[in-house]
Amino acid sequence: VWSPRRTRYDIAMGSGFLARPMPSGFSGALTTVGDTVVEQAETSTLKGVSVDVGSVRPFVVEGFTADAPRIDGSLSLQPGAVGLRLVGDLVNSGNVDLTDVAIIAGGASQRLDPLAAGEVLHIDLVMGTGQMIPGGSGFDPYPNTGGYGYYAYVYDPLIADIVHTDECYSNMELQARCNLVTSIMTSAWHGTNVVLTGWSDSLPVSMGILNANSKLVDQALYFIELDTISTSTSQGLDVIPPSLMTWRLLDDSTGYFTSPYDFYLYSGSQVTFRFQPLSLVTVPEIDHIQLNMESPYNGAPRPTVQIFNFRTGQWRSVVAFWGTTTIPDAAAFVDPLGGVQLSLSMDDVSEAKISRFDVTLFGK
């Protein structure tokens, strides 16, 4: 529900669907909060929905419909040095035309051609940024965020690709689309699977405002997780570069952390990471780990690095240098999912700017 003024609305849903408020912490910075009474009978009615000026109030609507898009086909995935190569044909076997289509994979997004009902879209793309991508996203059940909300600026590439625009404010339709996306996203992170997005001018559910004049804009945004087939061998890759891995922050005492490619370690501070290959990648038996650590400043003091030993359940110190450091006999430091946990800390008198901290896994 998008409102031009601060007020409360009563909303009736179509039959066959149940509605409930979006759980706290699972919606973006343009989302308003407030108490809502949900009446469930033959249809669902949301009483007293508070919406602030120019904001969006999202709800979870559950049910079954035959009017949703049906995308058949699958993409083959070939892991490479800079990301994933996606090759295959997608078939729109349903009755819903999709416009402003985009694909999200490997930490990157890219705009595609429209996919009308009955049409086939051929895909042959290399997706990736050469860096690790954050584990968890605004599309995952448990986003890797602190619950502070997320505001999509006009230069955000993910929002731009989903909406098929380079700015959000030239007209009301673009602003409504951008607001819709930000109302359901908690971050700009891209998840770890392959997702197709597309817009439609028909909704799979009907609804109406009971206590005010309103206009139902049939504009639906679909997130469709695609079937994929990995073309890697059963033994996995010989080398898993950072572009085929995710990072997750386990602990942070700095209070200002952004990513392992741009952060500052203050005196006495510590950060702890978990690095793990994408779920699309088959993990080989790991022989050694290459630690990559860089700073934009020559002669910067080196942080203390520790790696977690999954066999002993203890941390072990690593003599890490700027550039690359090899950690041999790494089997004990890698869990069955290929995960590696590393910690960086500074002493009480030194500080360091880190422009890169990630790992490369080498198989036997």
What is the per-residue pLDDT across 327-346, written as a single tens digit (0 to 9) for each?
A: 999 999 999 999 999 999 99
Q: Specify the pairing of strand 245-252 against strand 133-134.
A: parallel
For residue 360, give the amino acid letter. T
CA neighbor of 29 nearest in space, from 159, 182, 160: 182
Decide if 220 contacts 228 (C-beta within 8 A).
no
Q: Is the pLDDT of residue 160 over 80?
A: yes
Decide if 74 contacts 88 (C-beta within 8 A).
yes
How far is Cα 322 from Cα 298, in angstroms, rounded to an integer? 10
* Selected residue with higher pLDDT from 25 and 277: 277
Averaged pLDDT, 157-166 = 86
Dihedral (CA of 179, 180, 184, 188) sign: negative
Decide if 270 contacts 344 (C-beta within 8 A).
yes
Please report the pLDDT score of residue 255 as a whole number: 75
Q: Is the pLDDT of residue 113 over 80?
A: yes
Of 208-222, 264-278, 293-307, give the lowest mean pLDDT range.
208-222
Q: Is the pLDDT of residue 170 over 60?
A: yes
Please report the pLDDT score of residue 34 as a whole number: 57
Q: What is the mean pLDDT of the chain?
A: 82
**Cβ contacts of 3 within 8 Å, gap of 6 or more:** 9, 51, 52, 53, 54, 55, 57
